């Protein structure tokens, strides 16, 4: 893994949170993107070299809706950039981690993504992401 790519935060109302985080960073989000397959609307902020992703559910059975129902708003995942997501998935599986989707899927921000089950990562949902060339 190369670095933290972004931190994902689950929010109930992305419009309200966009204003809140714009005030926090002194800069508006640079992108809004809906990922229909995941049932989420996302927005991205830059803070120096770091990125924050806000996620709002767009349907009741979205993973984000379920997360907020169970745990409330807050940090949802940490995403790490990788060069070769297929190789990383195989490596992490052989290390004993549970990969939630062994076939990477297309996420927001032009990335291939895969998640590790929080049960195998001390309760932290970890996203691997590779830029789609």
**Contact footprint for Zn ion (CB under 5 A):** 8, 53, 79, 127
Q: Cβ-closest residue to Zn ion?
A: 8
Q: Which is nearer to Zn ion, 96 or 123 (CB)?
A: 123
- Sequence-distant (6+) residues with CB within 8 A of 37 are 105, 106
Distances from the Cα of 89 to the Cα of 7, 9, 81, angstroms: 20, 23, 13
> At its nearest, how many Å lie between Zn ion and the CB of residue 50?
13
> At its nearest, how many Å lie between Zn ion and the CB of residue 114?
11
> At its nearest, how many Å lie between Zn ion and the CB of residue 133?
19
Q: Which is nearer to Zn ion, 22 or 78 (CB)?
A: 78
Alpha-carbon dihedral of residues 125, 31, 42, 6, nearest 10 degrees? 10
The whole-angstrom separation of Cα 35 and Cα 107 is 7
Q: Which is nearer to Zn ion, 25 or 80 (CB)?
A: 80
């Amino acid at each position: 893994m190369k670095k933290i790519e972004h931190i994902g935060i689950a929010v109930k109302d992305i419009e309200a949170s966009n204003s809140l985080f714009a005030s926090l960073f002194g800069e508006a989000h640079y992108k809004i993107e809906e990922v229909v397959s995941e049932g989420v609307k996302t927005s991205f902020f830059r803070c120096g070299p770091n990125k924050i992703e806000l996620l709002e559910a767009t349907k009741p059975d979205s993973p984000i809706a379920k997360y907020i129902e169970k745990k409330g708003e807050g940090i949802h995942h940490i995403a790490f950039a990788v060069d070769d997501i297929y190789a990383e998935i195989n490596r992490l599986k052989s290390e004993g981690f549970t990969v939630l989707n062994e076939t990477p899927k297309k996420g927001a921000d032009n990335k291939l993504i895969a998640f590790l089950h929080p049960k195998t990562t001390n309760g932290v949902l970890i996203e691997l992401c590779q830029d789609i060339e």
